[in-house]
Structure 1
Amino acid sequence: MTTQTSRRKFIQAGIMTSIGSFAGVASAAGAPAIKDSSLQNPDNTFDVIVLGCGIAGLVAALQAKAEGASVALFEKMDRPAGNAICALGGFCAWGSRHQIAQGVKDNAKDFYDAMMDISAGRADPALTKTYTDNIPHDTDWLESEFKIPFGKTRTAAYPRLDRVCSIDGQGLTGGANAVFKLLDAAKARGVKFFWEHKAIELLTNDLGHVIGVRVQTPEGKKEFFARGGVCIATGGFSANPEMTDKYIGGWASRLALRGSPYTTGENISLCMPLFAKFVNMDQFHTGPI
């Protein structure tokens, strides 16, 4: 699969923070191709495996499919059930057609500076620049390609500029409406969905490269393989009291849960045996902001 990532990176990286997506990637890049004939079963081998049926996972699956990959998406619940379903569906952007139509003056430098400022300088500069550079056309792409309806741009809490792109829920929350429109698009484009398939272990070869995933299904444990890697888009850990206590403090584990009860930190627990580096673990996605 090619890596045309100049566009839509910000969603694939899970930076739609108001919607509540979080993604990591366990890549098989540079790993030897799967040669064992027992792993060539078309029912359990794909080019790309995506974990998590939220906005980040769905867009990653759609982009991989657009680039010609065979894609399988695994969701531990029997339906999309992450934080996006609960979210009103607003995220900050500059330069979208709605902002321009409202006569709002904005630019990339001011937007980038505000993102770094609000994170107290802790945001990753390269990732923040990717978001900044791609957010104008990516917002319009979501609307034109998948008919995700954006309403009037709203004023952000800080820095009090008209930057919040609000998704019209059309009877649902904005986040839920976006998820279901992306879900319909993914099904129409041939992404293969596996519901009630909970990832419990990343599979690696002798060199430590990720080549697939072991999942718990209603019929028992099964293994699936990915020629190009596994994209982890399983949400954060706001619904896991043990993790919030460990990484943030006991006070956080006692907060009233605002969001999905199913965001339990698989993005972290799956990568832990691989000695992944975890950063900004003192933060998680919750309400009211």
Structure 2
Amino acid sequence: MERFIVKRALASLISLAFLVVAVFFLSRLTGDPTDLYLPLDASLESRAQFRALHGLDQPLMVQFVDYLKDLAVLDFGESIRRAQPALDVVVSAFQWTLQLALITIAIVAVAAIVFGSLAAFNVGKIFDRFATFFSLVGSSVPEFWVAIVAIVVFSVQLGWFPTSGTGTALHWVLPVAILFIRPFGLIVQVVRSSMINALSSAYVKTAKAKGVKAKTIIFVHALRNALLPVITVIGDQAAGMLNGAVVVETIFGFPGVGKLMIDSILQRDFTVVIAAVVVTAFAIFIMNLIIDLLYALLDPRIRY
């Protein structure tokens, strides 16, 4: 088990190292922050002082070496826009995204496993057709369109929910509901397909012949053997949310890392962009490691 974990960790760290290098050079392609933060008529002296203050007066490779040295001690520098440590800015925003992702994926996982399992147990019946139809629709509709329609209907016309912010529980309802739709549709389809295979196996037929209750057959005998592909999809969807639910966070004014990253790119706040990418990538690395451990717990063959 330890060797398995070490191998997966090393593979993820190599990917993270490549990502760090790519983000540094790609962020520089957005332009010079001096042109954005100083007036057009700023003097050459003021521009030179600004560039020196933020380390932009050095050759690109010198900046890269300095960046790696600072990164080694988790020093991401100071945000140009906010005059605060970039890591503090990102961690503050990431907490909101993490809460949003965990709440949504927990609800999605429970609901999708129940619906998908029941659909598989009732293949071809009304419930199966109902679950299949709505899961296909949910996995196909664009989030930005649903979010806008939800705001118009539930916030503007009915006045049930606020349009933006995070002040109360009502502020969370629409963002969670919109993020729920697509993962739910995808996971229901995977659960249904995997459970159909599990329910057709010999041990399930034996359990039915012995008169075991349907609930026990579905959620005890068949579900564990059907969970491996389901966990993969749940992990992918959770990682996608951690990567920043950019559309939902932007539309609902949610102060998460996705919205922060978009704003920082537009503001050429390089330190925040890099810190956001590194923190998000590290969180996804941890999540993937947890998924790998779940694989090993569910299927002993993976440990060897």
Bin for the TM-score computed over the shorter chain: under 0.3
Between structures 1 and 2, the one with greater helix share: 2
What's the TM-score once normalised by structure 2's chain length? 0.22
What's the TM-score once normalised by structure 1's chain length? 0.23
Larger radius of gyration: 2
